[in-house]
Amino acid sequence: MAANEFRMLIGGDLVAGEVGSYDIVNPSTEHVVGQAPEASSAQVQAAAAAAADAFGAWSRTKPEYRAELLSRAADLLRERVPELVPLVQAETGATQRVTETMQVPTCVDRLRRYARGAMEPATIPLPPGETMTTALAPGGLMSAIAVRQPVGVVACITPYNFPIVNMAGKIGPALAMGNTVVVKPAPQDPLAVTVFGQIMHEAGFPPGVVNVVTGSGAEAGQALVASADVDMVSFTGSTPVGRAIGEVAGRDMKRLLLELGGKGAGIVFEDADLKTAISTIVSAWAFHSGQICTAPTRVLAQRGVYDQVVGGLQLAAGHLKVGDPLEADTIVGPLVSAVQRDRVEALIQTGISQGGELVAGGQRPDIETGFYVAPTLLAGCKPDNAAVQQEFFGPVVVVVAFDDEDEAVATANSTEFGLYDYVFTADTSRAMRVAKQLRTGNVGINTAQRNHEAPFGGFKMSGVGRDGGSFGLHAYSELQSIIWPG
Ligand code: NDP
């Protein structure tokens, strides 16, 4: 096997793709990083079957054993950080800062978190010594206890923005709960995920417990979702693909966890600390070139501070250095592919044609190779502008003016998404009042920092189900009641 060829993991074997392999391209240099295997649908079925075969024994293992293997995998992963950082960097195009802080180390943290998670009680917490008691039945008093059971084989399908972190966030809780998994990473950047698969294998997970298949969503992804051996689909990605997966999985009552698109509203009230509001929005704007589902890229600014907000964002745009992600002072790197760049550019033009005022960016930066879009600011947008309603997944911020609280809430709630909104205000009562009216799964108040123990997920078309901390464990389990007389 050549150094830049990668292998899938199926039933404990490292294998090439039966369809062949395809080039993974560095989004900055446009050079080939390596060859990813392309799975046939028979290989996807074999991976799902291996996971189904392994499920019985794995689901009966002691939590201590599962915790030990997850910890060992975290240790091995940490040892290989120096190898994984350049690989993830090359295939995603993420800047050094993003790669070194988020793309790789977060993955180790997630495995450690769910190694601890394996030891969390599988029974529903009740006062010590008590059981859950049912009402009197004809035969007398019946007692009951609720336990969490693993779901079975979980298909984990992930997007391109944080390939190994997304994988760890799914397989960590799924394995901790006693499920087996088949992972299908995004086709743009699957290489580090295949290395991660090998690491799980080296950590000692029994054959079939962890499987990794690579290839396109149209082939490998669809075959996996449709497989009769799959009991649950945990998908993170766009809303249209999530809907298509939900339709197929729903036919067989497969359990679903869908983390989908977002169009975060950043509501800036007149009494807000504008420095905090603007710097928070700017950091989210630039972070991973806007390829993040939770970013407050839809800024709603109260009329009295509207000009200051637009002016502050315009000034900041000029200071966001765009360029080679390997240079330490680069803030905005390329988008993952030419397809994604073209999509973002087309939506910018639509936004302008629908009345958005181009205040910054909008053009391709003068860089010889790579899929770059300059940080772009569209102000004066009406709430129904396509650039306000649709997700860019690129470095584009749109600004809409509002007069009062009711209008802010109505505009924030006016998209099909409901993943993460933000409220910037000095008035705590208002912050809580507004937060409770937002039809969104998460609300940040004067911050974009996450709390990874909090439940995370979407309202409306942003998804179904919750993960994060212990909620992640619950997502990969079924509740079972065990009832006995007495
Ligand atoms: P996509 O939805 O385009 O793709 C995600 C994955 O699904 C890819 O592996 C894709 O393969 C695969 N896929 C496509 N069609 C099918 C199918 N019918 N059956 C099974 N698998 C399929 O998302 P992106 O990778 O472009 O990621 C960006 C999106 O992800 C954004 O909308 C973003 O908001 C969302 N996201 C949401 C997060 C959240 O937590 N809510 C976090 C991160 C991203 P292929 O590319 O070959 O089609």
The catalytic residue among 107, 156, 293, 381 is 293
What pLDDT does 201 receive? 97
Burial call 116-142: b when 16+ CB within 10 Å, e when fewer? ebbebebeeeeeeeebeeeeeeeeeee
Write the CB contacts of 51 (distance below 8 Å, at least 6 apart in sequence).
153, 180, 181, 182, 208, 209, 211, 229
Q: What are the pLDDT tens digits along the chain (486 aa)?
A: 455 679 999 999 999 999 999 999 999 999 999 999 999 999 999 999 999 999 999 999 999 999 999 999 999 999 999 999 999 999 999 999 999 988 889 999 999 999 999 988 776 655 555 666 666 667 788 888 888 999 999 999 999 999 999 999 999 999 999 999 999 999 999 999 999 999 999 999 999 999 999 999 889 999 999 999 999 999 999 999 999 999 999 999 999 999 999 999 999 999 999 999 999 999 988 899 999 999 999 999 999 999 999 999 999 999 999 999 999 999 999 999 999 999 999 999 999 999 999 999 998 999 999 999 999 999 999 999 999 999 999 999 999 999 999 999 999 999 999 999 999 999 999 999 999 999 999 999 999 999 999 999 999 999 999 999 999 999 999 999 888 887
The catalytic residue among 38, 91, 156, 259 is 259
Q: Which residue's CA lies nearest to atom 25 of ligand 1?
A: 159
Q: Which residue's CA lies nearest to atom 32 of ligand 1?
A: 238
φ/ψ region of 249 (left if φ > 0, alpha if ψ in -120 to 50, else beta) reads: alpha
Going from the Cα of 238 to the center of ligand 1, the distance in angstroms, rounded, reads: 5
**pTM of the predicted protein model:** 0.96
Q: Which of 156, 293, 416 to mutate to test the pocket of ligand 1 (most atoms within 8 A of CB)?
A: 293
Going from the Cα of 237 to the center of ligand 1, the distance in angstroms, rounded, reads: 3
Q: Which of 234, 241, 421 to mutate to test the pocket of ligand 1 (most atoms within 8 A of CB)?
A: 241
Tokens of 93: 């195009």
Tokens of 57: 């024994």
Helix (H, G, I), strand (E, B) or coil at 403: coil
415, 263 Cβ separation under 8 angstroms? yes
* Of residues 134, 148, 144, the one with CA closest to residue 479: 148
224, 241 Cβ separation under 8 angstroms? no
Measured CA to CA, the distance from residue 458 to residue 264 in angstroms comes to 11
Letter for the amino acid at 105?
Answer: P
Letter for the amino acid at 9?
Answer: L
Q: Which residue's CA lies nearest to atom 36 of ligand 1?
A: 237
Tokens 């059981």 identify what position? 131
398, 351 Cβ separation under 8 angstroms? yes
Residue 336: CB atoms within 10 A of its CB come to 26
Q: Which of 160, 225, 238 to mutate to test the pocket of ligand 1 (most atoms within 8 A of CB)?
A: 238
- Distance set, CA 175 to CA 68, 71, 76, 109, 171 (Å): 12, 12, 17, 15, 6
Going from the Cα of 241 to the center of ligand 1, the distance in angstroms, rounded, reads: 6
Measured CA to CA, the distance from residue 419 to residue 470 in angstroms comes to 19
What pLDDT does 130 receive? 60
Work out which ligand 1 atom sits closest to the CA atom of 159: 25
Measured CA to CA, the distance from residue 101 to residue 248 in angstroms comes to 37
Tokens of 238: 């766009």
Going from the Cα of 234 to the center of ligand 1, the distance in angstroms, rounded, reads: 11
DSSP string, 139-169: TB-EEEEEEEEE-SEEEEE--SSSHHHHHHH
Q: Which residue's CA lies nearest to atom 12 of ligand 1?
A: 217
Residue 178: CB atoms within 10 A of its CB come to 23
Measured CA to CA, the distance from residue 469 to residue 453 in angstroms comes to 4
Going from the Cα of 236 to the center of ligand 1, the distance in angstroms, rounded, reads: 6
Q: For residue 293, indicate whether it is catalytic.
A: yes
* CB-defined site of ligand 1, < 6 Å: 157, 159-161, 184, 186-187, 216-218, 221-222, 225, 236-238, 241, 244-245, 259-262, 293, 391, 393, 419, 463
Helices (H) and strands (E) in the chain, counts: 16, 20
What pLDDT does 145 receive? 83
Going from the Cα of 186 to the center of ligand 1, the distance in angstroms, rounded, reads: 7
What pLDDT does 133 receive? 66
Measured CA to CA, the distance from residue 354 to residue 387 in angstroms comes to 9
